[in-house]
Structures are given as structure tokens and as C-alpha cells.
Amino acid sequence: MLMKIWPKETSLKFMNLRMAGTLFSVLLLTASIFFLGTRGLNFGVDFAGGTAMELNATETVNESTVRAAIPFSADVNAAVGTDARRIVVVKFGEAPEALLGPEFQALSPEEKAEQASGATNELVVRSLVETLGVNPGTDILKNDTVGPKVSKELFRDGITALVVALILMLAYIWYRFEWQFSIGAVAALAHDVIITLGVFAFLQLEFNLTTIAALLTIIGYSMNDTVVVFDRVREERRKYKKMPDRDVIDLALNSTLSRTLLTSGTTLLALLAIFFLGGPVLRGMSFALIWGIVIGTYSSIFIASSIVLSLGMDLTQKTVDDTPGFQGV
Amino acid sequence: MLQFPLWKVILIVLTLAWGVVMALPNVVNMSGAPGFMPKEGVNLGLDLRGGVYLEMEIRAEDVIGGRLEVFARDVRTALARTDSADPVPHLAEVNGQTMTIKLTRADEAGNFPVAETIARIDKVNGPLEGGLAGGKTYEVTRAGPDSILVSVPENSENLMMMDALSKTETIVRRRVDPDGVAEIAITPSGTSRLVLEAPGEPDPERLKSLLSRDGRMTFNIVDDSPSAITAAQAGVVKPGYRLISGPTTGPLLVRSIPEIVGSDIATASQGNDEANRPQINFRLNSNGARKFFETTRANTNKRFAIVLDDVIMSAPNINEPIAGGNVRITGDFTMDEAQDLAAIISAGEMPAKLQFLDQRTVSATLGRDSINAGIRASVIGILLVAGFMILAYNLLGIFAVASLAANVILIFGALSGLGATLTLPGIAGIILTIGMAVDANVLVFERIREEQQSGRSLLTAVQAGYERALSTILDANITTLIAAAILYLLGSGPVKGFAATLGIGILTSVFTAFVVTRWLTVVWIKTFKTKQLSV
């Protein structure tokens, strides 16, 4: 039904908009780098260390009583949690050493550095239990404390994962297409990742482990999109040997356009459901994915394809079969 | 592309049936089902069921410092007066991962007997348990005119860390789960870390205080007289005795004051007796050995209870007085039991204080909230995608939705069958996969549409659509699979759960979109002799 409304053939001149697209991307990239430099990313406990705690809000447990109960200054906010539950979110790093008791003060400096977050967490839980009668088993919905050692490792592992993924995909595209395509695809991916990071910096959204997972998924999705376009470009290039590169790419983009919009549409629908109904834990992740799909779709058209157009195609080298080894599946 | 011989159909049906059978325990209580049916649904991650995650570390300087303290006592024995040699007065000081031995008396010429002392120390510097026979544990070198440096070479350090980590793991397990019934996972990570995952455990502080406690290991003489035990069980405990019990020994009456304590034990290991049955060898230090000899001589034919934190591990009979401090416990052990007991005796107390690096707690309430939110988001997400597909592609859309349903069943079947863990980001992964799963269908349908527009008959258009979309589908999904694989390898906790569902979802969605939808379409066209499909 929907497809009846959709024109049978579109012939939009995407490549005519190439300069405008490039300009737009350069602007976005500059802004992203600016915000990353000035505001920086708002790291969650996974990467920054410290504690993030969620308390079940009741008559006695609310923003002001919790703030009063904690013997040092912590970041306390009322919020709406998963499944519309009213909660109090508490974030803190390390308490002043004087509050942490003689046992902690007897530790070596090295142990102090590692144990301070944990000891602070114990102090806060004890204060909440003693002054507000909080039951640690049921009223503390969530209590995450990450020490400096692990937070550094998690950050390093996250960055490693991103870089390794980019390199492997570059290699895969190189193997399946030509180098021009592989450069176009990876430039598009880097574009998507940097701009997504820029949005996280601009909006000061929490950047944590699940955000890294989301970034990798964006990379996968954007690559997926780019590959679909590239496959078509290669096919049309072979079909119309005399046609200029610019028209071949426009033809490929037009013939994959309905697919691109449909797939992005269904994926966006699914993600919007997570964003609105999946609770705060998934909100950052689904936001990154929604943003990533929009920017990924855009970049496969305006970045990946226009880079291939600038670099030129040389299909004489790999004019063999489309699907080496995949025939007869 | 359009031929489905019987064997292919059987294979498709078997795969789908496997998915249904494996996924069934997630929706139906299978406890009454026949034996071959799976009983367990998918594992829920701690973020969905509530629980405690603790990452702990033992530090190399603590482990090695502890070993050097023990070696310092061996050195003292080696440098003591013997029948043929004079004592060497010295001061030993452990400093981080090395030990300095300073000789305190020079000979008449003012020289210190460094070389001779090194030779005497090397006699007690044997191989580590698990190390190469004939090797040396420590590197003992001259560090000055009057001092000797004892350091730990890298391979010894590795063995010591491995040993210490496995002992810590055993102690941690015994401590958090004394009855062996709780569903607590303790996994070593790297060379110095332990990860503990306790579902449903509401209080991480309790776990932490349990684990930061010292382990107390004692050997106590048992009073085996039946009348004393009966009296004790009736509440009249003989003065100077305690009634304690153990899983293999039952309640026993033991002397309150232990004969041997943890600090008397040097090391323990699993060995074999003359009949090649597993036994436990352990070595007491000099002090312990002397006490042990005297105790066993005075108490021959009594039982000696080996007690760990007030639980009797074992209560072997003293057959004869034992000198030398090399003791073995024979019994009806399996190899594993003997190894475990050896590890426990050997560890006695934690080899090093546990450092808590990362602790995460989710209450059962939040877990339930998350499941509710996850289910609601999934159901609505799937309905939206399904509605959209049917609107866009009519009959083919219905086939796509049918294969989407098969996809969800296969994902749950595979997650259950592989024992993977479902986390909240994992649920997001499933929803994302469903959004993306339609991609393969859309790629094919768009091709079919194009082919039909260029005037081909329906069957040829379907054939061409699938053939042409194949390489695109594979390329596109392999790239996403690469991302999922890397996330799985480098990710931790919830992210790993996300990667697992994403990876499984990619495989099942390619299968369902490319095989199941195609099969449904072909069967439909052939059955109803359809000439035109509106796409």
C-alpha cells in the first residue's frame, strides 16, 4: 500500500548537492570538535569512577533529606526511573579522608587511591541507613561504584574496540570492493562517530559503556547502509560502461532510496519504542542509535558516495564475480 | 533459488522446531516435561534479576611479600646451628617484592660469609609446587659485602600469582557459599582478579565484610567417646571442648584450644599414595612441625580435626607419631576433593587482602522494573515494525512478519540453548535486530519490485530478486557481525549481553529473511498460481 504512494522511479540529483553536503558535514564536524574540546564528554561512573546510586523515593527519602543525610557534598537529584518509578539519583566521587574512619586512614597511599570510592560508598550507605532508615536490600535500587583502576581499563577497552572495529571493516571493504570505496566507507564512519560524540558533548548526555556499544552498532549500521549503496554503484557501473561516474552514483542512490528509507524507518520505529518505553538505562543508548541511523543514512549518501566520486572508480581490477564463494547458497 | 527439495524443507522445519523447543521454557513451565526437553529458559543478567557484581583483586606485592615472609623462616632454619655448621647471624627484611638479608657478624678478617650463606640458603630454595623439578623458587644474589638479595623471578611470580588466585577463589567460594547451594559465579579474570556475581543478593556490604575477613585454620584433637558426644548434643559440653561439625564428618567434639594454627602451615598440595590414590601432602614450618610431632606422639590413635572457620574439613586418624613436618592425609578422596582440601589447608588464610575494584548492585525491584519496561518496548517495537511492513508490502509483508516471528523464536531458542545471558542492553539488541532484520527482506522485495516493473513474470522476478540481493545482504550483515564480535570479545557485563543478542540476531535474521520468507513466498506462489504480487 505504502509503496503505491512511492514513485516508481526517482531521479534525484544527489551528487549535485555534494558541495552543500560537504559544507554541512564540515560545519557539523567543526562544531563537534569544538564542543568536545570545550564542554567535553560527560563520563558516567564506568569511565570516570566514583558512585552512581538510585534510591526509591518515599515520603522520608527525597532529594532534600538525602542531601542532608550525606555528610559531604554529593550530587543529588530527583528523577523518574525505569517503569515510571520515582527515584532519587545520587552521584559522588570520594569523601574527604577525615570522614572515612581510622581503618581507611591506616592504608598505604596506593591502597587509599583504589579503595576511596568503595569506602565512600560504605559511608554513604551507612549514613542513609542510620538517618533515613533506608533498607539497603530494597530501597537502594542501584548502587554502582567503580574504582580508578577499572574505570581506566574500561575506557581503554572501549576505545580499543572502536579502533579495532574500524580497522577490520576497512579491511573487509577493501577485500570486497576497491580502495576508493574502503576510504569512502571509513571516512563516513569516522564522520558518524565524531558527530555523535559531538552531540553527546553538546547535550552533556552521560557517556558510558552502553554508549560505546551504541557507537559500535552505529558503525555497523552505517557500514551496512554504505555497503548496500556501494554494491549498487558497482553493479550499475558495470551495466552502463559509458555513463559518467556522477550519473552512475546518482542512479545507484535512487534505486536504493526506497530500501534505505524503509529500513531506516523500521529501525527507527523500533528504536523510538526503546527510547520512550525502555526506561532511563536504555535512553542514552537508544538516543545514540536513533541519531546514528539518521547520520549514518546521510553519510552513506553524502560522504561515502561523494568521496568515491572524487577519488574516481577503477573497476578494471576487480571485475570478477560479485559474490566470490557465495554462489549457490 | 526457487527449488525447495524435500531435504531443504525438512531442514528448515527442523531448525524452526529446534527454536521452538529451546525457546519454550521461557514461556511455559517445563518442569513436568519429558527428560529430553530443555527445562531452563534464557539466563537473565544481574541487571534484570537483581544482584551483586564484585570485581576483586589481589596485589602482587601482598602475595609475594607473604611468600617471602614464609621463606624468611626457612632461611632462619637453614642458617641455624647444625651438627656440621655454625649459625649465621642475620637480619631479614621483606621490602615489597624482594627480601634483603643482612649478615651481622664478620669473620676475623672483617669479611662476611656471603657466598657460603647463599649456598646454605639455596639448599632450602627448592622448586615451587607446580614448577619445574630441580628449579629454584627464588633468585638469591650477592647485593653487597654483607648483604644478600632474595628476589622472585618472573616465572616464579606468575606461578605464585596463579596459586594465590586459585586459593583466593576457593576461599571466596567457601566464604560466600558455605553450603554450595547458592547460585554464585566466581570467575578468575586475568592473573590477579576475581569476578563474583551473586544474583538476588541484596547486600553487597555483607559480601564485602565476609570477604575482607581473615580465614582461620586450626587443627584440633577430637574426643571420639560416644558418651561425650551424646552428652554434648544434649547440651552438656565437656569443659575445654567444643561441639562443631563438618559436611563429611558430622558433629564432633574437639578441644577448644587448637594444637596447630594457620600460621604453622607452610604449604599443601595434592599427591598420590602408594596405591596411587589421591592424598594431601602438606608441610608445616619448623615451629608447626615440632608441635605436630609432640601432639601426634601424645595422641596416637585419636582423630585430628582439620577445622576451617569452625567447620571440620576432615578428621583423619593419627596412626603414628609424625616427625619432620611433612604430613599427609590419606582418605577416601577423589582427585578433586584432595586438590580442594589441599588448596584450603594451604590457603588457610587469604594469601593477600582482597581489594574491591568495581561493585555494582541492582535490586530485585529495579530488575523487575527493567524487565517490564523491556517487554513493553519490545512488544510495541515489534508491532510497529510488523504493521509498517504489512502496510508497505501487503502479502509479502505478511510473509516478512511471519519470518520475523520465526526470528524472535530462534533468537530466544539460541540464547537459551547456548546458555547466553540476557541483559537489558541485550533486549535493546533484540529490538534493534528486529528493526534491521527487515532490511534483508526489504532489499529482496525492492529487487522483486524492480524486476516486475521491467516486465518479468512473477516467478522470474522473485528468483532474480533473491539472487541479486544475496551479495548485498551478506556484505551488509558481515560488517555488522564484525562489530558484534568485537563487542563480545572486548565488552564486559551488559555490553557482552548486547553483543551476544546482536550477533545471534544477525545470523537468525539472515536465515529467516533469506530462507524462511523465500520458502513461504515460493510455496504461496506455487500453491495459488499467483501471477502478480503487489509490492
Per-residue pLDDT of B433-472, as tens digits, reads 887 778 888 888 888 888 888 888 888 888 888 888 888 8
Q: State the alpha helices, DSSP H only, in B454-512.
A: 458-490, 494-511
Does the structure show a pLDDT above 90 at B76?
Answer: no
Mean of pLDDT values over B367-389: 88
Q: How far apart are CA A251 and CA A239, in angstroms?
A: 11
CB contact under 8 A, A217 and B443: no
Q: How far apart are CA A19 and CA A42, in angstroms?
A: 33
Task: Output the pLDDT for position A277.
Answer: 84
Task: Output the pLDDT for position A325.
Answer: 40
What are the angstrom distances between the C-alpha of B484 and each of A114, A281, B490, B517?
A: 32, 20, 10, 24
CB-based contact A14:A302 (threshold 8 Å):
yes
Task: Quote the strand ranges of B138-292, DSSP E.
Answer: 139-142, 147-151, 185-189, 193-199, 217-223, 241-246, 250-255, 260-261, 265-272, 278-284
Of B356, B365, B480, the CB nearest to A118: B356
Q: Are strands A206-207 and A42-43 parallel, antiparallel or unpaired?
A: parallel
Nearest to A75 by CA among A50, A105, A57: A50
Q: What's the 3-state SS for B353-369?
A: CCEEEEEEEECHHHHHH
**Percent of chain A beyond pLDDT 70?**
92
Nearest to B364 by CA among B376, B356, B372: B372
Confidence bin at A81 (pLDDT 50/70/90): confident
Task: Output the pLDDT for position A323.
Answer: 44
Average model confidence (pLDDT) for chain A? 85
Q: B-contacting residues of A 104-163, CB under 8 Å?
A: 111, 114-115, 118, 121-122, 125, 136-138, 140-147, 149-150, 154, 157-158, 160-161
> Residue A27 has which C-alpha cell?
560545519
Average model confidence (pLDDT) for chain B? 83
Q: State the alpha helices, DSSP H only, in B248-363.
A: 286-298, 335-347
The backbone torsions φ and ψ at residue B271, rounded to the nearest 5 degrees and listed phi first, read -140, -165
pLDDT digits (tens, 9 = 90+) for A132-157: 988 887 889 989 999 998 899 888 88
CB contact under 8 A, B365 and A270: no
Confidence bin at A38 (pLDDT 50/70/90): very high
DSSP string, B504-519: HHHHHHHHIIIIIHHH
pLDDT digits (tens, 9 = 90+) for A177-218: 888 888 898 899 889 999 999 999 999 988 988 888 888 788
Question: How close does chain B come to A212, measured CA to CA in Å?
Answer: 9
Which residues of chain B neighbour A273 with C-beta distances below 8 Å?
377-378, 380-381, 384, 431
* Measured distance between the N- and C-terminal CA atoms of chain A, rounded to whole angstroms: 31
Q: How far apart are CA B344 and CA A163, in angstroms?
A: 44
Count of A-B CB contacts under 8 Å: 254
What CA dihedral angle connects A271, B381, B505 and B394, to 10 degrees?
A: -120
CB-based contact A188:A29 (threshold 8 Å):
no
Per DSSP, the three-state class of A97 is helix
Q: B-contacting residues of A 47-106, CB under 8 Å?
A: 54, 56, 81-83, 85
pLDDT digits (tens, 9 = 90+) for B107-133: 888 888 888 888 888 888 888 766 666
Does the structure show a pLDDT above 50 at A319?
Answer: no
A234 vs B: CB within 8 A: no
What are the angstrom distances between the C-alpha of B400 and each of B368, B395, B442, B519?
A: 32, 9, 9, 11
Please give the residue that has the higher pLDDT: either B356 or B249. B356
Question: How close does chain B come to A25, measured CA to CA in Å?
Answer: 24
CB contact under 8 A, B442 and A213: no
CB contact under 8 A, A271 and B432: yes
Which residues of chain A neighbour B57 with C-beta distances below 8 Å?
149
CB-based burial, B7-29: b 16+ in 10 Å, e otherwise: eeeeebeebbeebebbbbbbeee
Task: Output the pLDDT for position B454.
Answer: 83
The dihedral built from the CA positions of residue A163, A164, A168 and A169, taken in this order, carries a sign that is: negative
C-alpha A188: how far from chain center = 15
A234 residue type, one letter: R
Q: How far apart are CA B437 and CA B517, in angstroms?
A: 12
Question: How close does chain A come to B297, measured CA to CA in Å?
Answer: 44
B7 residue type, one letter: W
pLDDT digits (tens, 9 = 90+) for B153-189: 888 888 889 888 988 888 888 667 655 666 888 999 8
A164: left (phi over 0), alpha (psi -120 to 50) or beta: alpha
